[in-house]
Chain A
Amino acid sequence: MSSIAARPADRADRSDTGRWRTVLRHRWPLRLMHWINLACMLAMVGSGLQIFNAHPALYWGEASHFGTPLAATGSVAGADGRLRGVTRVGTARFDTTGVLGVSTGHDGKPVRGGFPGWATVPGSKNLAYGRRWHFFFAWTWVINGLCYLTWSLASRHLQRDLAMRRRDWREVPRSIVDHLRFRHPVGDAALRYNPLQKLAYLGVIFVLTPLIVISGMGMSPQMDTVLGWWLDLVGGRQSSRTLHFAAMALFVLFALVHVLMVVYAGPINEMRSMITGRFRIRTRDAMDVPDARTTNEEATR
């Protein structure tokens, strides 16, 4: 759900009893960049968890205070001799056997360490290759992101479809209520981003993305020679590592909500619009929804 390219020249699908209209919703560069983005993010989350597993603990500050991590996961042998996964957050401890600390390997035997193999790239413990994957896809992702930003500015996608307008700010409370009630815009209203959607996209592009890039760079001893201001701001390299992890978690959360919204809004239609670009909407005259609150002017911008 990214580029709304509905134009007056959109094909009206009259064959379908005149109730449905097919519009070109996402143009091809955007669709291509969307899927490259997804591939990079999957590779980076997986390889990032692989790297994290080399030392599955998070700290705050410049150095690691091994006795007092913010959070850590590990394994202990239980009274029955079985390995238990233990995750601690602050002073609280949780048994996370199967998910964190100890998981089940391919052969059914327990495997020690951090995140389970199904979540990491490569699947077995390999820090060296995890790093190779991570840096390759980090560069691919950054270049793809710069292409996206350039394209979005040049095509005015950013200014036209994503920028928050005064009306969007006014509609935020209503949009929150709509989301809580799982009420989804239909008809022409489905063609434009709702205010919460805009805020989510803008937040990912202009807050989360710079944060994850700089917090990642902040772990590099070479880059830290020029990123002193950043380390001073957040408290040090270990803080930067923790923020990198937190930003990853927010990206994953965003992706989950994003997919949930796609499923909720009509997975076939939404997926098709991001693969072929074509998006079907109900025309306004055929609808009996009382709050279809769009004008022709908006739908055909």
Chain B
Amino acid sequence: MNDDILHARRRLLRGALLATGAGLLGGCDALSKRAGFIDVLSAAEPVNRRVQRLLSGERLAEEFAPSMISPVFRPNGSTDPQTPEYLALKADDFRDYRLRVRGLVERPLEFSLDALRGLRARTQITRHDCVEGWSVIGGWSGVPLSVLLDAARVRPGARYVVFHCFDDYGGNGGRYYESVDLVDAYHPQTIAAHTMNGMPIPVSNGAPVRMRIERKLGYKQPKYVHTIEVVDSYARMAGGKGGYWEDQGYDWYGGI
């Protein structure tokens, strides 16, 4: 074969490769801006949820020895809520705090911190995995969510449990919220925690009550919880995606 043709072909190939590379990168960004394309990508989320649940069933997250507890339980997201209702409660050391259970229940309930501490508690030393990639280990005590739900008697038609929080993380007047389905709500390690490493939970880690939902990433385990609401759908709340970060594009499953 003629050398000139070879060189021309090589140039063509090189050009094609560079154009393909640039096109791919530009294309990825253009595609990411199209809602329809993100919907296609999001098809992987229910697959993750179904397959992972099928493979892992109801097993418990690993629990660790006290010696494994991280020296600092790195706080993320809201670390010092400034909403008036939170500041008022904090000023009085949460004496007037009430945890409410409402929604699709026979008997709406509310608990003071002392009442919560008087209920059967579960203690667990677990690993906390942030969606950003890091992990810390902490010890938690709290009331299993199943105890609260059973006390309030969940009505037929209930599908999700929504957690309403004090903090306005977005800074737009909204409030942080999260939701899980009944599978995770009734998991033995899902607790409304009031104690961290043997002490009342510090403000930066969610005082006075935060959720521990141990098979989920951190954003699915809300801090500063004041109301537990049992619902049949979360579509009409806030952005309609079932949580603060979900409304920003994150996946609702949050198990990987």
Contacts and interface: CB of A to CB of B under 8 A. Distances in A.
Interface of A: 42-43, 46, 51-52, 54-55, 57, 59, 62-64, 66, 118, 121-124, 126-129, 131-133, 135-136, 138-139, 217, 219-226, 228, 231, 236-238, 241, 267-268, 271
A226 B56 contact: yes
Contact of A122 (B28, B60, B245): B28
A268 B53 CA distance: 47
A36 B72 CA distance: 44
A224 B41 contact: no
Given A63-B135, A139-B47, A241-B133, A221 B250 contact: no
Contacts of A118: 25
Interface of B: 9-10, 13, 24-25, 28-29, 32, 38, 40-45, 47-48, 52-53, 55-57, 59-62, 64, 68, 70, 72, 74, 127, 129-137, 214-217, 245, 248-251, 255-256
Given A46-B28, A129-B32, 16 more contacts: A51-B133, A55-B133, A128-B249, A131-B131, A131-B250, A132-B41, A132-B42, A132-B44, A132-B251, A139-B47, A221-B217, A223-B255, A223-B256, A226-B57, A267-B10, A267-B13
A275 B9 CA distance: 16
Nearest to A129: B32
The 5 closest A-B pairs by CB, nearest first: A222-B255, A220-B256, A128-B249, A225-B59, A135-B44
Contact of B29 (A42, A124, A238): A124
B130 A55 contact: yes
B131 A127 contact: yes
B41 A136 contact: yes
Contacts of A126: 32, 249
B121 to A, nearest CB: 22
Contacts of A131: 131, 250-251
Contacts of B53: 222
Contacts of A124: 29
B56 to A, nearest CB: 5
Nearest to B69: A63
Contacts of A221: 61, 127, 129, 214-217, 255-256
Contact of B137 (A55, A63, A225): A63
Contacts of A224: 61-62, 127
Nearest to B26: A123
Contacts of B28: 43, 46, 121-123, 133
Contacts of A46: 28
A113 to B, nearest CB: 12
Nearest to B28: A121
Nearest to A139: B44
Q: Describe A's contact surface by its main secondary structure.
A: helix
B59 A64 contact: no
Nearest to A66: B74
A110 to B, nearest CB: 20
A254 B130 CA distance: 31
A136 B44 contact: yes
A42 B24 contact: yes
A131 B32 CA distance: 12
B136 A63 contact: yes
Nearest to B27: A121
A260 B35 CA distance: 38
A135 B255 CA distance: 12
B26 to A, nearest CB: 8
Contacts of B64: 62
A235 B119 CA distance: 36
Contacts of B57: 226
Contacts of A139: 44, 47
29 contacts: A42-B24, A46-B28, A55-B130, A63-B70, A63-B135, A64-B70, A64-B135, A122-B28, A122-B29, A124-B29, A127-B250, A129-B32, A133-B28, A135-B41, A135-B48, A135-B251, A136-B40, A136-B42, A139-B47, A219-B129, A221-B127, A222-B52, A222-B53, A222-B56, A225-B60, A225-B62, A236-B135, A237-B129, A268-B9
B102 to A, nearest CB: 28
Contacts of A222: 52-53, 56, 215-216, 255-256
Contact of B215 (A225, A228, A231): A225
Nearest to A118: B25
A231 B129 CA distance: 14
B205 to A, nearest CB: 15
B62 A228 contact: yes
Contacts of A238: 134-135
Contact of A220 (B24, B25, B52): B52
Contacts of B130: 55
